[in-house]
Amino acid sequence: MELAIELASQEEALFIFGAGDAHLRQIRDGLDIQVAARNGVIRIEGDEGLVRRAEQLLKDMAELYRAGDPLPDLYVESRLARIKADDEREKGGAEESGSPDAKQRKLTPQERATVRSLARSKGQEGYIEAIIRNELIFCIGPAGTGKTYLAVRLAVDGLRSGDYQKLILCRPAVEAGEKLGFLPGDFQAKVNPYLQPLYDALNDVLGMEQVKRYIEREIIEIIPLAYMRGRTLNNAFIILDEGQNTTASQMKMFLTRLGMGSKVVANGDVTQFDLPEEQLSGLVHAAPLMKDIHGIAWVELEKMDIVRHPLVKKIVEAYEAAENNSTPKGQ
């Protein structure tokens, strides 16, 4: 198969080609295809499947340039490695993603560096490693332990490296112990207050302008959990926040959205429920069902993993002491 990709400008071409056309040579040698560039046009020739994957890689690089993002270190190497792994899996040469070895595989030097740069506690280190190694991750822990922030950081890294094409963040639209009554505005205006913590995490990682650009281009979606119904999400990094406020049926619906090439992180704090008194939490319900399934990781962060203001840890401890003899709601 042969196809051509036309680039928008000389500057875009230089960004994609790399110094001395290094990126094009990597793609050519890594995929064993023919790659040539002339007058702002890249021509690719070879096996149809590999040509299509190379085309997508080059288009993703162009998208990074147009969004004003730098090309991450080892971007091309990372994408080529994933392409090869996908190709082997399609041919039946790879192990099942849910095999016991998936959890125990050694981290690459780059992955180990990521863990060191992000983790601020032993618990966070285990959480980051679980996200890197697994396709479905549950994390429970008190406020301030970095459950959402760290997942967002790794998701954004995955977007920039090309491992994922989309980032989807969702949470149940449940009132935090209050009856807010009528809220003015259209539907989006009504649900935005529930989603604001997700915007806060993204803005902290990417900056408001970049977040706005990604949302406009539908690379990032921030949506109520109900919007997930009926979708199958491929090549996406999906984060559920406030998972303790899902019902059992909502959690089942959410988990079954997982598509090929995607990763799901479901977070929650089982000390803070906003569900009706008689309603079982979907996060609590899922725990005994999922804990023994290979490829699914469970992480429990504790108060020593809290990285907010020092008083937050003391506040959590005070509430724990007061509630020590009571049964948490939802169990």
CA distance 130 to 298: 8
Name every residue whose Cβ is closer than 8 Å to that of residue 123 and which is 6 or more positions away in sequence.
Answer: 141, 145, 299, 300, 301, 302, 304, 305
Is 311 a residue whose pLDDT tops 90?
Answer: no
Q: Do residues 127 and 153 make contact, with C-beta atoms less than 8 angstroms apart?
A: no
Q: Convert the pLDDT of each residue in 31-73 to its tens digit.
A: 889 999 888 899 999 988 888 888 888 888 888 888 777 777 6
Query: For the residues 122-144, what does the mean pLDDT come to?
Result: 92
Q: Thinking of the domain 100-322, which architecture would CATH place it in?
A: 3-Layer(aba) Sandwich (3.40)
How far does CA 143 lie from the centroid of its chain? 20
Mean pLDDT of 305-310: 78
Same fold, 2-90 and 100-322: no
Q: Please state the domain extents for the chain.
A: 2-90, 100-322
Residue 231 · residue 168 · CB < 8 Å: no
| 250 vs 92 pLDDT, higher one | 250
Distance between CA atoms of residues 298 and 284, nearest Å: 12
In the chain, % of residues over pLDDT 70: 85
Q: Which CATH entry fits the domain spanning 2-90: 3.40.50.1820, 3.30.1370.10, 3.30.360.10, 3.30.1180.20?
A: 3.30.1370.10
